[in-house]
Copies of this chain bind each other. A is one copy, B any other.
Amino acid sequence: MTNRHTNVTAQARFGAEECSLKEVLERVGDKWSILVVAALAREPYRFRALQRAIEGISQRMLTLTLQRLERDGLITRTVLDMRPPRVEYALTPTGQSLTVPLRSLADWAEEHRGALAESRALWDSKRSGTAS
């Protein structure tokens, strides 16, 4: 376990975490999970409301995503028995804590979306202008 490169600067220092990062990404790293957590970060939602809030998610994917998140202890599922039946989903403390790094990601996204689009456009134009 001798570290191979000592030029580890402040912003770097990914390393051993990388594997756990990979691990966790395979669980909550998909688009729908993140969007569900982001939605629930605002307020608890019922099933249908959540589906409407998320825009583009299918009923199937919402069900699956919610089940996984509940399984991972990130959200709670509460059945209010009444007619018609209502089920509320909310973040657990762990789920709450995830919203913090998610926020920085969202901020980054907000800040750099323009740059990405620009770079992409540039790259694409270079591509088509291959000749001459």
Chain A contacts to B: CB under 8 angstroms: 5, 7-8, 11-15, 17-18, 20-27, 29-31, 34-35, 38-39, 41-43, 70-74, 94, 96-110, 112-113, 115-116, 118-120, 122-124
Contact = CB atoms under 8 A, between A and B. Distances in A.
Which A-B residue pairs are the 8 nearest by beta carbons? A73-B119, A24-B109, A101-B104, A14-B38, A101-B105, A71-B123, A21-B106, A101-B108
B17 A25 contact: no
Contacts of A42: 5, 8, 12-15
Nearest to A35: B22
A66 B71 CA distance: 34
Overall SS of chain A's interface: helix
